[in-house]
Chains A and B, each alone.
Chain A
Amino acid sequence: MMVKTYVIGSGVTRIDRHYDKNYLALVDEAVSRALAASGLDVSDIEYLVVSTAFSETMLNQADPSTYIAQNLGFRNLKTLTVSSGEVSGAVALDYAHALIKAGKARKVLVVGFEKMSEYPSWVTNKAYTKILEYEVEGIKNVTPPDYAALIMSEYMRRYGVSREDVVKWSIKMHENAVKTPHAQLQFTISADSLGRALRISEPITMLDSHPVSDGAAALLVTDESATKKTGREPVEVVDVESSVNLPVYLRDDITYFSATAAAYKKLSTKNEIKLSKTTAVSVYDTYDIYGLLIIEALEICEIGKATKCLDELPFLNVSGGLKARGHPVGATPLYQVHELCELLSGASWAKYDGDVALAQVMSGPDNNAWLILLKRWA
């Protein structure tokens, strides 16, 4: 019989600039909440998989999984750290998923964290730019918002989309974040602010970009044997897929996210699903323009028309996305899964009656795209 994988409990911290907490304190908070939600005890955990993108550069800490285990009082278990840039959290969950499927473990704790506010912004920006290829882009001072600026300019030109239309994405994200207790930017914005917003890389402004965030998220991933203990409905991790794109400078069309599209094609064919405008999706909108391109690559909206269908998507980034919920990089994909689990189990502010939900995760402008398909407990 095929083994199924479930998220039986999850917990997150409020995303913020946590000047008063180190990464261990943030992780401790998230894990305590996840354990309480799952009904499991520390001694039940067999495997600890930790996700972080920048612990070595920002915190001078190699393999934080060992120190997280020590701090949480874990002893008899295996630990490892996954560090795969912006997709670290998706890779960590895939690893846990594979462990369960392979029968190597039955109860895996997946933890993601990031502390991005430890240093002034030039240090943070230098670290964050390492998600791009250092020898090609980093060394020439091409930064992530520079690519977003190129892509936004080309998208607006090609499809006749206005600047005000693009920022509708951010406006919607902030509206959702106001209703999300753990979101970082809990305030609304309007297109009127565009003229005053500080430019990061023309035409990208602060209104288009994710903030600098600290946070931690934890998921209890198990086989079916542990699902009876949880007080909340478990959510099935049906599948995790991924695909890699060409470098931006070699793409024929920089406004089409083909890695996300390819991963979606594999996932939808294998699992016989098709996303609709009312399916719950959580996507990696590091910049608002990327959010638009992702929902086009996922075939939710027509190419070049995403700004026109935003109002028809009630379950798009219900937490406010990276734009407004925040982007504690190594933890972000786990926040996405936590939020979708809350949606599927009825714990979210949004009332969702669909059976499946999808998290889309990517590194840079679709350099490496991952999809996580979740399903309501049947």
Chain B
Amino acid sequence: MRHPGSRTGIIGWGTYIPVYRIKAKEIARQWGFDDRITDSIWIEEKAVASADEDTVTMGWYAARSALVRAGVDPSRVGAVFVGTESKPYAVKPSSTIIADALGISTRKLSTDLEFACRAGSEGIRIAVSLVESGTIEYGLAIGSDTAQANPGDVLELTASSGAAAYLVGPANESVAFFEYLVTYVTDTPDFWRRDGSRYPTHGEGFTGEPAYFHHIVSAVNMLMSESGLKPSDFDYAVFHQPNGKFPLQVGRMLGFPKEKVLPGIVTPWIGNTYNASALLGLAKILENSKPGQRILVAPFGSGAGADAISVLVTEKVLEKVGRAPTVEELLSRKKYISYAEYAKFRSLIYRNLG
């Protein structure tokens, strides 16, 4: 039986990581945390969006790279979805700004999606369905965030900025086609930001076992059960990365050896880019993959839900890697800043204007 979505694939991908980095230990020292806390969750440094960057600018950059890699004329893109929890406007879509700036046709579906860190992957799933049904030719799904964290909260060690974009289209044009896509969702209050609140709140340990681990394990097991695949059938596994430790831990729980998980881990060097987190990891894998390799990608969003997606790499990937900046290039392009500069860039300093 053909699995829904299997006639579609990734036509192009693109990413963005801001150039600025702050060392996690500097944040720890700022607030008097035990230095070893950064080692305990494996976070070295995080990417910081500059004062003139936001979800829209980063999302645009990633989307443009995706279109360049795809070689698809923007006028043929029939849907643009932006998954974010840090949109610049509370009311006004980010997706329309990005779409117009890219020259995408006015005949399109366009909306912002919110599901904590997995709205970007929900965008992929919707684009897959629209392409599969013939409603659109190509769909663009973007995950982009300038993640907030209450200053002094442990979340501040990891909450960072970044974007990833995927152009979804017909499988026969793809660099990697979708084999199986499943999603596992429950009402689990592990992390939230109430309306009017500047920073999110989280349930500490509750964000782990009953949220992140339960949902990813459930989604992946659902995919394995429906597909008949097993961990040994995959060359790589990419999970949502709130820190460096969790993806290794969930990989171990699911039976994936460390060697299959490590290549997709980016968080220790750029922090948790929220909606771009697992999608940046997938991009890094794609850029180093060989045709015929199978990748498992499992994003997670608080609230809570996880996707499990199996993709098979095609020969087309080889010619497209060099068309836009790779994740490794973006990772190595960096400038360190102090906590004070970070506080200025992220508007953590209250001041009167005008």
Answer yes or no: do A and B interact: yes
Within 8 A of A (CB), among B33-88: 34, 36-37, 39-40
Asked if residues B40 and A19 are in contact (CB atoms below 8 Å), the reply is: no
Asked if residues B204 and A197 are in contact (CB atoms below 8 Å), the reply is: no
A351 within 8 A of B: no
Interchain CA distance A117-B203 in the complex, whole Å: 10
Interchain CA distance A120-B201 in the complex, whole Å: 10
Asked if residues B40 and A196 are in contact (CB atoms below 8 Å), the reply is: yes
Interchain CA distance A121-B206 in the complex, whole Å: 11
Partner of A117, one of B36, B39, B205: B205
Asked if residues A196 and B210 are in contact (CB atoms below 8 Å), the reply is: no
Partner of A19, one of B37, B39, B202, B209: B209
Q: Using a Cβ–Cβ cut-off of 8 Å, how many residues does chain A contribute to the interface with B?
A: 11
Residues of B within 8 A of A17 (CB): 205-206, 209
Interchain CA distance A17-B204 in the complex, whole Å: 12
Asked if residues A120 and B34 are in contact (CB atoms below 8 Å), the reply is: no
Interchain CA distance A212-B205 in the complex, whole Å: 10
A198 within 8 A of B: yes
Q: Chain A 324-356 against B: per-residue CB contact (8 Å), 1 yes, 0 no? A: 000000000000000000000000000000000
Instruction: Count A/B pairs, Cβ under 8 Å.
Output: 24
Within 8 A of A (CB), among B188-212: 202-206, 209-210
Interchain CA distance A199-B40 in the complex, whole Å: 12
Residues of B within 8 A of A198 (CB): 34, 36-37, 40
Residues of A within 8 A of B204 (CB): 120-121
Given contacts A19-B209, A19-B210, A20-B210, contact A120 B203 (CB under 8 A): yes
Asked if residues A196 and B39 are in contact (CB atoms below 8 Å), the reply is: yes
Interchain CA distance A117-B210 in the complex, whole Å: 13
Within 8 A of A (CB), among B296-331: none
Within 8 A of B (CB), among A1-60: 17, 19-20
Interchain CA distance A197-B209 in the complex, whole Å: 21
Residues of B within 8 A of A120 (CB): 202-204
Residues of A within 8 A of B209 (CB): 17, 19
Asked if residues A199 and B34 are in contact (CB atoms below 8 Å), the reply is: yes
Residues of B within 8 A of A199 (CB): 34, 36
Partner of B206, one of A19, A196, A197: A19
Residues of B within 8 A of A196 (CB): 36, 39-40
Residues of B within 8 A of A121 (CB): 204
Interchain CA distance A94-B280 in the complex, whole Å: 61
Interchain CA distance A212-B206 in the complex, whole Å: 13
Q: Chain A 101-133 against B: per-residue CB contact (8 Å), 1 yes, 0 no? A: 000000000000000010011000000000000
Give min CB distance, B188 to chain A, whole Å.
9
A20, A117, A198, most chain B CB atoms within 10 A: A198
Give min CB distance, B137 to chain A, whole Å.
45
Give min CB distance, A126 to chain B, whole Å.
14
Residues of B within 8 A of A212 (CB): 205
Give min CB distance, A15 to chain B, whole Å.
14
Interchain CA distance A261-B202 in the complex, whole Å: 44
Asked if residues B205 and A197 are in contact (CB atoms below 8 Å), the reply is: no
Residues of B within 8 A of A20 (CB): 210
Interchain CA distance A212-B204 in the complex, whole Å: 12
Give min CB distance, B282 to chain A, whole Å.
30
Asked if residues B210 and A197 are in contact (CB atoms below 8 Å), the reply is: no
Within 8 A of A (CB), among B5-57: 34, 36-37, 39-40
Residues of A within 8 A of B202 (CB): 120
Interchain CA distance A250-B39 in the complex, whole Å: 39
State the B residues within 8 Å of A (CB): 34, 36-37, 39-40, 202-206, 209-210
A19-B210, A117-B205, A196-B36 known; 4 new pairs, CB 8 Å cut-off, are A17-B206, A17-B209, A20-B210, A120-B204
State the A residues within 8 Å of B (CB): 17, 19-20, 117, 120-121, 196-199, 212
Can you list 23 residue pairs at the A/B interface with Cβ under 8 Å? A17-B205, A17-B206, A17-B209, A19-B206, A19-B209, A19-B210, A20-B210, A117-B205, A117-B206, A120-B202, A120-B203, A120-B204, A121-B204, A196-B36, A196-B39, A196-B40, A197-B36, A198-B34, A198-B37, A198-B40, A199-B34, A199-B36, A212-B205
